[in-house]
Structure formats: structure tokens, C-alpha cells
Amino acid sequence: MAPRKTERILNLTICLLVSGRYLPKSRIREAVEGYHNLSDAAFERTFERDKDELRSLGVPIEVGSFDPLFDDEPGYRILSSEFALPAIDLDAEEAAVVGVAARVWRHASMAESTRSAIAKLRAAGVEPDASQLASLEPSVQASEPGFEVLWNAVLDRARVSFTYRDGSPRTLEAWGLTSFKGRWYVIGRDVDRAATRMFKLSRMTDLPRRVSRAGSYEVPADLDLRRLARSLAPREPTETAVLAIRAGKAPALARRGEPTTSDVKLPAGFAVYAVGFGDLHSAAEEITQYAADVVVLEPAELRELVVRGLTAVAESVAAA
Amino acid sequence: MTSRAQVRRLLSLVPYLREHDGVAMTDVAAAFGINVRTLREDLSVLWMCGMPGLTPGDLIDIDMDAVDGEGVIHLSNADYLTRPLRLSADEALALVLALRTLREIAGPGKREAVDRALKKLEAAAGNLPATDQATVAVTAARDDIQARVNDGLQRRKRLDLTYDVASRAETTRRMVDPLRVFVLDGYGYLEAWCYNAGGLRTFRLDRIAGIEVTAIDAAMHEVELKDLSTGWFEALKDAPLVTLELQPSATWIAEYYPTEAITTRPDGGLIVSLHVTDPAWLRSLLLRLQGGARVLSPPGAGDSAAEAAQEALDQYAVLLGAAAR
């Protein structure tokens, strides 16, 4: 029965759009054929659902009084100035990048939202053409099961509850979502802890559920999601390590460093670099992976962590 | 198909068809990302819609003979739907995020076009909640490198690449014919025909240390590019499985790498199986985890990591004496 429903909802839209003034429910019931063979109760239910569906698509249905003398029955209208997409004029290059954007999302409902946005742009006269940028293929994945619920919660400002990996139940006013290294994080106010928190979606152990109406909270006006997201990135270097690196090895480390010298007598083929690091443990993990190709000369505490790590690897297999 | 998606599409289809009188069914279907049968169903729904009253003169008029005959669409009598509906919050944000992701690999020239498009879209989206409510971080190349990659790609020129191979911790120099730049799971990649390897190879953009665009035209290569919709998993599925026992401190790898099977241990640790294409990658992972992972199977898969660790320890002992232990 989907075509009949589509037909009814489209006729309702046209009816409210052309009337120009507030129409009472009784008039709408007469005007829209899809409401004709319904009982009073069924009509009320159907009309409410249709209205909700249109609003969820962003159709601005206004409620007001259709007649100042009889204000007991509310009326409904859609102003075409509120309904219509404002004029948008993209040049060929801009239209081409929009065409590439059409194929970015690897998530069914996000791809559908993008497709629908681009259909509107086409209807407004934009002709996206991605053929000249065919060799660029950006993609965004969202494989976490909770993504869609959280995305809609952010858009609707509806509270959500979920269980986090440590077993704790959480209720969150979600402000925004951010993807870092291909993994999604949600940021918001943890209601029970009354504090700003960030959660990794893949560490939620159940599906988030909505626990409030839409519009239940305000997102802080000064929210800077990009700044919060940057806290996920490695810390800026604050300290310097002196490393001996075998020629041609560990290029990522050598390139970050500045050549320097050391009193330690090194085997042939090693060069000494001063390399900045932010976090001692992360630096130790990174350096340990290069095994004998990188020698930590300073600081001693970094060297100890690396030596301890190497010892654990050497023993973990020997013990097996 | 849900009625919601259909309503949303029809509200765009009507103004589109008004603007493109006589357009071919196949072109419309392609533009809207649907098949021709769905479009035909859309038209038969539209045909039943119109102004209140619903006498034939009030209905949207579609020349169904032309639709079923020549396969072209003439639509009229819909003067109340001349403009598409404004962008909803989900549409605007999905499109903005897609454009921002493209921006990260677009290179300096195209980036300006992306910025202009973003500005116009945000203006047209108007009174929506800030489009800053979602962000996607992409690790890509430095601007100068990105510009040369895209230049070589667009002019189809062979590239002289200096590339850091992470798993071997070595820098390599190679000649490649660029085929595509893509983003997957937050990283930008160059996919190219590599003359040194004699095959299709994928290079992480942030590990390209240097690049020159040569004067040589790129050759044609009969290769199938990676299917991005399956992520890395598809490419890995034929590689041998390695089973690791992870201490709680090392469990993050189960989230970062595609794993086949995961069992939780009482202490919070995990037992995971993952596909390993390159033994050097496993060696560097085991070293990086500093003993937080132990190889359960196949036997001997962890030996090279243990040997490398022992070699490094011996070197420390020689260089720095007892002070290092």
C-alpha cells in the first residue's frame, strides 16, 4: 500500500501548499482523497502520522488559527517561502566536487540522505558531474551498529542511553559525532556524571536507545567539535629523545628528527637524531617496534621502557 | 521502498521534470540513483496527485504515452511545485561531511572549489543547526605532495615515488602509474601500478616522503581496483590466520584491525584471530605491543619478533653496558 500512502501524503502537501491560508482539519479531510473512506478515529491517527512524516522530512507545516473569529479549531498551512530551497548557483567546478560527494558514504541511510540532498540540488538546476574527477574516491564508513541511532539523536537533540564496555550504564546528551582513524566517537554531556564525555561507538556493548523527546537539550553554542576531536590525536611533542637510527630504517622517526651527535660509540651505519615526543609510553611503543634498528640514547626512562618492552617480547615467545 | 523515501524523492522529481521537459527516463533514473522501474512507479503515483478537488484538470499531467513509447517524460500542471524542498538537517550534514572528506584529498586547487561549494550549501541550508555537529578526520599527504599526486593523476603521468614501507621500516624508491586516490577508514591512499613490484599497489598518502611527476605518460593497465565497500576485509580474506592472546592493555588491536573471531577472557583480555598478509607486519605489531600479545597459533609465528627483540637487547648491552639493563 506504499503507493497509496505516498499519494495521500503528496496530496496533503500540495493541499497545504496551495491554500495559502490556515486550513482546518475538516477541510483537509474533504480535500485530500486519501482521507475519504476513514472513520473519525482512523482519520485522526492517519493525519497525525502523515504530518509527523512530513515534518521529519523537513516540510514546514505551520499550525495557526484559520479564522480569527473561530479559534477553537487549529488550522494548518505550508508557506512556499519556507518550503522552497533558496536559489543556489554552483559553477562547473563546484558542481563537479558535489558530484564526487555523492558517492562518499558507505552507509545505507547516510548514502540515501546524500542522494536525496543531491536530488534537490538537481531539481534546483545544479548539474553535478563527477566524471572529470573520476579518479578521486573519498569514502566514509560507519560500520558501528549504534551509528544511526546516535546520528539521529544528535540531529534531534534527544537523550540516549547505552552500556559502555566497562559495564556502566550511561545517559548522554549527544552534541556531535566525530570520526578519527575511521572509528566513530560521540561527544556530549554525561547526564549522571554532569560532565563532558567522549565515547567510542565500538566500545558500546548494546544498541543506544532514545530516552527523551526531540529537542530536550541545547548544544553549547561554543561547542568546538574539531578541538575536542583533536584531543584524540597524539599529543604535540613536548620532550626530546636522542635516538641512534640505522641508515634507511625507521624513516618515519628519522624524518621527524633533527640530526645531532652523541658521545656513545655506535656501530657503522647509525646516525643520531633528536626526535620530539609527547607521551613517554606511546613513544616507547613506537620505538620498540623497530627493535635493533633504533637505539634510545636519552632519556634514560624512555630507554628503560623500551628495554623492558623488548625483554617482554623476547621472553613471551621463549616461555611458550 | 518506504513511502517516506518515495515522498522525499517525488518532491524533488516534480521540479526536476518541470525544468527538464522531454528528458529520457534513463537519464532521470541515473540522476536520482534509482532504476527505471522505480521511476515508472514514481510517475504512476505522481499521476494520481494534484490540487484538491482531484478532477482531471486538477491533477499533475504526465504524458504516459511518451513515457511508455519513446521513454521520455513530459510533465505539466504542477505550478505549485516549482522549487525543491529545502535541505533537511540529515541531508545537509551528510553532504557537508562528504565534501569535507573529499577536501582532504582534493589537493590545493580543487580544495578551493570544495570550500566555495560548502559555503554556498551552508547558505542555502539556512536555519539548520550548525553543520559542525559532525567531523571526519582524514590522514593524508602534505599539500605539496598531494598537489603532485593529483597532478600526475589528472595528466596521467608516471610518478617517481619515495615511500616509507611501515612494516619493514624502510624507505623505498619506485616508479608508479597513478590510477586512483581514495579514502578508507580515515586514511588517504594512492592506488597505482608499481613497476618495481610489477603489480597493483596501495600507498598511504602520509607515508609518501617525496614525489616527482615525470614527463612519461602513464601506461594503460588492465587491473581491477579495490572495492571500497568491503573495507580491507575482502583483500585480507585469503591471508593466513594468526591467533593471538591479548592482555587487557593490548585489546585495542581488536578494534583497529579486522578480526575473524574474538573470545573474551575473564581477566579482560581477548583471544583474537586475524589475517596476516605480511609476516613483517606481525613482527612489528608484536614488538609494538611490548609483550602484551602472545602468539597461540601457528607455532613459530612469533619467533621473528622474539629474535628481533633479543638482537636489540644484545645491542643495548654492547653499546651501553649494564647501564641499559
What residue in A sits closest to B94 (Cα-Cα)? A114
**A281 and A210 within one domain:** no
Which residues of chain B are within 8 Å of residue A312 when distances are taken between CB atoms? 290-292
User: With bands split at pLDDT 50, 70 and 90, how would you rate the model's confidence at B54?
Assistant: low
How many CA atoms lie within 13 Å of A124's alpha carbon, on the beta-carbon side? 21
Residue-level pLDDT at A1 = 47
Phi/psi for A312 (5° steps) reads -60, -40
Q: pLDDT category, B325, cuts 50, 70, 90? A: very low
Whether residues A7 and A46 fall in one domain: yes
Give me the number of domains chain B comprises: 4
Which ranges of chain A have pLDDT less than 70?
A: 1-2, 66-72, 234, 317-320
pLDDT of residue B127: 61
Residues A17 and A117 in one domain: yes
pLDDT at B74 over 80: yes
* Domain around B207: 149-217
**Looking at chain A from residue 197 to 256, which residues have their Cβ under 8 Å from any Cβ of chain B?**
200, 202-203, 219, 223-226, 229, 232-233, 248-252, 255
B242 with B303, same domain: the answer is yes
CA distance B262 to B285: 18
CA–CA gap between residue B143 and residue B109 (Å, rounded)? 10
Tell me if B225 is assigned to some domain. no
Beta bridge partners of B242: B274
CA–CA dist B162, B209 (Å, integer): 5
- Domain membership of residue B261 (yes or no) is yes
Number of domains within chain A: 3
Model confidence pLDDT, tens digit, residues B261-285: 788 888 888 999 999 988 888 999 9
pLDDT of residue A184: 94
Structure confidence at residue A320 (pLDDT): 47
Residue A62 forms part of a structural domain? yes
Among the three residues A136, A165, A200, which one is the final residue of a domain in this structure?
Answer: A136
CA distance B159 to chain A (A): 15
Q: Hey, which residues 116-135 in chain A have their CB within 8 Å of chain B?
A: 116-125, 133, 135
CB–CB contacts below 8 A, A to B: 395
**In this structure, are B210 and B274 located in the same domain?**
no
Interface touch B83/A104, C-beta < 8 Å = no
Q: A300 and A247, same structural domain? A: yes
Distance of CA B290 to the CA centre of its chain: 32
Domain span at residue A205 reads 147-232
Nearest CA in chain A to B323: A300
- Selected for mutation to probe chain A from B32, B47, B91 (highest A CB count within 10 Å) is B91
Q: Which residues of B fall within a CB distance of 8 Å from A252?
A: 164, 166, 169, 207
Q: Are residues B200 and B260 in the same domain?
A: no
Residues A187 and A197 sit within 8 Å (Cβ to Cβ):
yes
Interface mutation target, options A59, A88, A97, A205, chain B, most CBs of B under 10 Å: A97
pLDDT for B108-146, tens place per residue? 888 999 999 999 998 888 766 666 788 888 999 988 999
Q: Which residues pair with B189 in a beta bridge?
A: B182, B204
pTM: 0.83
- Among A232, A261, A277, which residue terminates a domain? A232
Beta strands in chain A (DSSP E): 23-24, 62-65, 74-77, 105-106, 136-137, 140-141, 160-163, 169-180, 183-190, 195-200, 209-210, 239-246, 258-259, 270-277, 294-298
**CATH number of the domain residue B283 falls in:** 3.30.70
Q: What is the ipTM of this complex?
A: 0.83
Judge if B72 and B96 occupy the same domain. no
Q: What is the pLDDT of residue B55?
A: 63
